[in-house]
Amino acid sequence: MIRNYDKLIFELSKEGRVGYSLPKKQVEGGCMCCGIPENLRRESAPLLPEVTEFDVVRHYTNLSNKNFGVDTGFYPLGSCTMKYNPRINEEMAAHPAFTQLHPSMPTECAQGALEVYYNLAASLAEVSGLAEFTLNPYAGAHGELTGLMIMRQYHIQRGDLKRTKVIVPDSAHGTNPASAAVCGLQIVEVKSTANGTVDVEDLKPLLDDTIAGIMMTNPNTLGIFETEIPEISRLVHECGGLLYYDGANLNAVLGKCRPGDMGFDIMHINLHKTFSTPHGGGGPGDGPVGVRAGLEHLLPNPQVKKDENGRFYLQCDEKSAGYVSNFLGNFGIIMRAYTYILTLGRENVKMVGPLAVLNANYVKESLKGEYYLPIEGVCKHEFVFDGLADKSTGVTTLDIAKRLLDYGYHAPTIYFPLLFHQSIMIEPTETESKETLDEFIAVMKKVAQEAIENPEIVKSAPHSTPVRRLDETTAARFPKTTYKQLKG
């Protein structure tokens, strides 16, 4: 039965029903739209639902109940670091001292916000071993593009115009080649070895004077630490290229080892992954980019600087790779990440990686009988199964992901990385308790058993969600986002 308040908000609409009242007009004559030319004024009232405040509250509360987030349950979405977002972060980000600032305010009136920006950039430089950071890019992929723009400018400003190719491992996140293409660079793929790390022998013949640099992720998307970096760094630098570090997986090594010390020249960090700010469904995020000493002037404008009196100001460098955002990044996310770092403190930041690694290995070792583990050994913060160990049932990775929804879990990342046909990528993060992990392990084992004893129930899952299996391609390509589209 459909309850009245389960209906769509437009279907609840009753003419004349209101959920608000505005204060009486306090000035005589005139109206809000006086300055708007006659031909641009609306002739009829907009189509809006006429409902009470209570209807609106129920509408949004019911919608939120159909959603799933880290606040709802376990969210082992590999590569996304869905860790807990401490509530103190929200409190600080919502502080009126920051939220009431206008982005175009003179810098003298926004010293506090600039100080937060400056201090966070300095902390990121410290944990990554690089010289300087910009917080302006809005996401990881945006950071990649910014970093590659810096890489290109570095070569162009030296008059080295031939370097138009960038090397990307076959295990890379899809945004790596995409960012390189948006930046106008050609992509050259380097293969992985059977152990899942970059194949140095495959890399060597690719290196020549057309190579702008290499993009690497460490630990890589298989959750494996790249052990050949000193050699790769030597080879790429010798050929005149730069090393770019995709820092999306920094959670695994935070405070333990630093990309700058490994020889990387440029990197991005996903504040919304490693530094506990809420994300999902496309945003919001922030993708700070750091560079080694000697490349600072290439960072995007404006750059936040501090003078000898401790005052903060904005500087635009002529040689900069350009502008990448309207203002100074997603400030609410910067505020949350800064709070997170200060809350943990220098010592506790070093515990993040080891606990994330411990949790991932615990889940991996507990499940590797039921699920096929293509690369054995200790992983970092995440790992990849290649489907069920017993493939005879015909139950696929998609079926397993859908069945997990019935048990109240978010699905792991599936069919990525592309190195295996049935990839299931699991990242438990450090903030989950052993009890939660044990329950998840039990459910994963149960699903594996169902696949043998009752494969139909897995193949036809989910059974208990608000919507069943969607045509995901059509849903993504032609989403129906308005009431009118939905109804006709």
Ligand X SMILES: *Cc1c(COP(=O)(O)O)cnc(C)c1O
Q: Is residue 140 near ligand X by the rule CB under 6 A? A: yes
What's the min distance (Å) between Cβ of 143 and ligand X? 8
Q: Is residue 85 near ligand X by the rule CB under 6 A? A: no
Smaller CB separation from ligand X, 312 or 385 = 385
Binding residue for ligand X (CB under 6 A) from 251, 270, 274, 276? 270
Q: Is residue 417 near ligand X by the rule CB under 6 A? A: no
Q: Is residue 217 near ligand X by the rule CB under 6 A? A: yes
Sign of CA dihedral 415, 416, 420, 423: negative
Binding residue for ligand X (CB under 6 A) from 51, 75, 79, 370? 79
- Given a contact cutoff of 8 angstroms between Cβ atoms, the answer to whether 248 and 270 are in contact is yes
Q: Is residue 427 near ligand X by the rule CB under 6 A? A: no
Sign of CA dihedral 187, 176, 242, 283: positive
What's the min distance (Å) between Cβ of 472 and ligand X? 18
Q: Minimal CB distance to ligand X: which residue?
A: 140
- Given a contact cutoff of 8 angstroms between Cβ atoms, the answer to whether 363 and 441 are in contact is yes
Q: How far is residue 241's CA from residue 266's CA, in Å, rounded to a whole number?
A: 12
Helix (H, G, I), strand (E, B) or coil at 48: coil
Map residues 164-183 to x or -, x wherever contact with ligand X holds by CB under 6 A. ---------x-x--------
Q: Is residue 336 near ligand X by the rule CB under 6 A? A: no
Smaller CB separation from ligand X, 141 or 448 = 141
Binding residue for ligand X (CB under 6 A) from 76, 213, 278, 285? 285
Interaction residues for ligand X, span 224-263 (CB under 6 A): 246, 248-249
Smaller CB separation from ligand X, 141 or 242 = 141
**Partner residues linked to 190 by β-bridges:** 169
What's the min distance (Å) between Cβ of 342 and ligand X? 23
How many CB atoms lie under 10 A from the CB of residue 453? Answer: 9
- Given a contact cutoff of 8 angstroms between Cβ atoms, the answer to whether 146 and 300 are in contact is yes
Q: How far is residue 354's CA from residue 90's CA, in Å, rounded to a whole number?
A: 26
Amino acid at 9: I
β-strand 289-291 against 266-269: which pairing, if any? antiparallel
What's the min distance (Å) between Cβ of 320 and ligand X? 22
- Which backbone phi and psi does 217 adopt, to 5 degrees? -120, 130
Task: Provide the binding-site residues for ligand X, judged by CB under 6 A.
Answer: 79, 139-141, 173, 175, 217, 221, 246, 248-249, 270, 285, 287
